[in-house]
Structure 1
Amino acid sequence: MPARPRLSQAAVEQRRQDVLRYVAGHEETRIADLADRFDVSLMTMHRDLDDLAARRLLRKVRGRAVAFPALTMETATRFREGSNLAAKAALCAAVAGRITPGSTVLVDDSTTLFPLAESLAGLDQLTVVTNSVGFAQRAGSAAGTDVTLLGGHYHSEFHSCTGPDVTRALSRIRADIALMSAAAVLEGRLFHPLREYAEVKEAMLASASTALLLVDHSKFGKTATYAYGTADAYQAVITDTSTPGAETAAIADMGVAVESVDPGEPAS
């Protein structure tokens, strides 16, 4: 039997993300069953699971792969930053041209915005204000960008800050534009599993002249514990072409512009 072609690192990572999603959907799965399902050797599956376990994305326990609790997987940065990367990059590329030199930009803790940091390089006298340590680290390396990290109660799982110190600081800021995402969207209503993060999003909206909502297809058709408004608080919603038509239609019916980006095609 001829040897299988060696996969690229990107293809290996995609398989590992698929394994992670499968385990999350089943709470726990035998490692042998995973090897059969993904048509790889038991040794390869062990390597995949060792990598995922080292990143604290799942646990290996006596021949089984075990998922973390659902709330942790919905919110913790380590789970979110590796998902739907092509869609996130396309959404950020679609809005990068709307950020002008000399402006003040609010960015929430959503990993959807992480690819935007690279686009900030070359924009002179740009001020970025964020509660996300991860985004601040990425944007801080761009020449000409001044980054303000909103300090408050630090959540290590989410690598970001919330609380009254954050919301008070936002009340004293007037930004040109806020770029934000949502954990869940159902028929134009926005939700987050954690109340304190919903409060930060509300404070950012109140502090910005213009706000854009960037949400990939995986967030639609879902709810979470805390509702914090609707999409009509934003000037536009940018999503990808895999988002269900009924969801985008509900937002359009609110009078909000909806822009759909194809992750397979770079934004102009």
Structure 2
Amino acid sequence: MPPRPRLSQAAVEQRRQDVLHYVAEHGETRIADLAARFDVSLMTMHRDLDDLAARHLLQKVRGRAVAFPALTMETATRFREGTHLAAKTAMCAAAVERITPGSTLLIDDSTTLFPLAGMLAGIDRLTVVTNSVGLAQHLGAVPGVVVTLLGGHYHSEFNSCTGPDVTRTLTRIHADLTLMSATAVLKGRLFHPLREYAEVKEAMLAAAGRAVLLADHSKFGKAATYAYGTAARYQEAITDTATPAAETEAFRALGVAVTTVGTD
């Protein structure tokens, strides 16, 4: 039998993300079963799991791959950054059309907004205010963009800042446009598992002249511990075509314009 063609690094990373999602969904899985499911050798699966474990995305324990607790999986930047990337990119491309030269933007720490950084080149005199260290680093290489990082209590797990220093600074800022995502959305209500992040989102909404929510289909139909209002606080929501119709209709019932994007 001829050897299999060597996969590109992108294809290997996609397989590893698929493995990660499978383990997260099942809690824990035998490594041999994962190798059979993804049709790779046991050695290859061990390499995949070693890579994911080195990034603290899962654990390898005595022949098994074990997921981290749900809260960590839902909120940790290292997990979220590689998920649903096509949908995130398409939503950010739609959001760029709402940004005008000379604007001040407020952007939260949602990895949904990370692809936006590479799309802002060519829009003159932009100021971006964010609590995300990761996004600030991405934006630092974009010419013409002035970045203000909201400092406060730093969370290494999420590579961003929260706390009274962040929310107090936001009371002194007026933004033309706020772009945010949500961890969980249920029938028009917005949720986050961590109180301090919900408070930052509320403060950003209060500082915005206009607010747009970007959330892919995976965010809908679920709730978390802390509610922070409804989608009615946004003028528009951008999502992908896989979002259930009942959820988008709940937004429209609240008077929120909904834009859906394809991910091809």
> What is the identity, as a one-letter code, of the residue corresponding to 2:255?
G
The count of residues paired between Structure 1 and Structure 2 equals 264
Deviation at 1:141, TM superposition (A): 1.1
Q: Which secondary structure state, in structure 1, belongs to the residue aligned with residue 123 of structure 2?
A: coil
Matched residue, 1:230: 230
Matched, 1:150 2:150: yes
Matched residue, 2:76: 76
Q: Which secondary structure state, in structure 1, belongs to the residue aligned with residue 210 of structure 2?
A: strand
Q: Percent of counterpart pairs with the same letter?
A: 78
Is the 1:108–1:201 Cα contact (8 Å) retained in structure 2? yes
Looking at structure 1, the residues matched to 193 and 8 of structure 2 have their Cα atoms a distance apart, in angstroms, of 35
Q: Which secondary structure state, in structure 2, belongs to the residue aligned with residue 95 of structure 1?
A: helix
Looking at structure 2, the residues matched to 204 and 182 of structure 1 have their Cα atoms a distance apart, in angstroms, of 13
Deviation at 1:45, TM superposition (A): 0.5
RMSD: 0.9
Matched residue, 1:66: 66
Matched residue, 1:167: 167
> What is the identity, as a one-letter code, of the residue corresponding to 1:252?
R
Q: Which secondary structure state, in structure 1, belongs to the residue aligned with residue 209 of structure 2?
A: strand
Looking at structure 2, the residues matched to 122 and 256 of structure 1 have their Cα atoms a distance apart, in angstroms, of 29
Deviation at 1:122, TM superposition (A): 2.2
Is the 1:122–1:142 Cα contact (8 Å) retained in structure 2? no
Q: Tell me whether 221-230 or 64-73 shows the greater mean CA deviation.
A: 64-73
Deviations 1:33-62 (A, max 9, x none): 110111111011011111111111111122
Matched residue, 2:251: 251
> What is the identity, as a one-letter code, of the residue corresponding to 2:148?
T
Deviation at 1:26, TM superposition (A): 1.7
Matched residue, 1:214: 214
Deviations 1:142-176 (A, max 9, x none): 11111000000000100000011000000000000
Is the 1:19–1:34 Cα contact (8 Å) retained in structure 2? yes
Looking at structure 2, the residues matched to 185 and 260 of structure 1 have their Cα atoms a distance apart, in angstroms, of 16
Matched residue, 2:89: 89
* TM-score, length basis structure 2: 0.98
Looking at structure 1, the residues matched to 212 and 10 of structure 2 have their Cα atoms a distance apart, in angstroms, of 30
Matched residue, 1:182: 182
Is the 1:239–1:261 Cα contact (8 Å) retained in structure 2? yes
Matched, 1:38 2:41: no
* TM-score, length basis structure 1: 0.97
Deviations 1:71-94 (A, max 9, x none): 111111000101000000000000
Deviation at 1:70, TM superposition (A): 1.1
Looking at structure 2, the residues matched to 196 and 157 of structure 1 have their Cα atoms a distance apart, in angstroms, of 14
> What is the identity, as a one-letter code, of the residue corresponding to 2:213?
L
Q: Which secondary structure state, in structure 1, belongs to the residue aligned with residue 137 of structure 2?
A: helix
Equivalent positions of 1:189-200 (< 5 A) are: 189-200=189-200
Deviations 1:190-239 (A, max 9, x none): 00000000000000000010000000000000000000011111010000
Deviation at 1:123, TM superposition (A): 2.0
Looking at structure 2, the residues matched to 109 and 187 of structure 1 have their Cα atoms a distance apart, in angstroms, of 23
Looking at structure 1, the residues matched to 189 and 8 of structure 2 have their Cα atoms a distance apart, in angstroms, of 39
Structure 1 unaligned blocks of 5 or more: none
> What is the identity, as a one-letter code, of the residue corresponding to 2:20?
L
Deviation at 1:67, TM superposition (A): 1.0
Deviation at 1:4, TM superposition (A): 2.3
Structure 2 unaligned blocks of 5 or more: none
Matched residue, 1:103: 103
Deviation at 1:182, TM superposition (A): 0.1
Matched residue, 1:204: 204
Matched, 1:3 2:3: yes
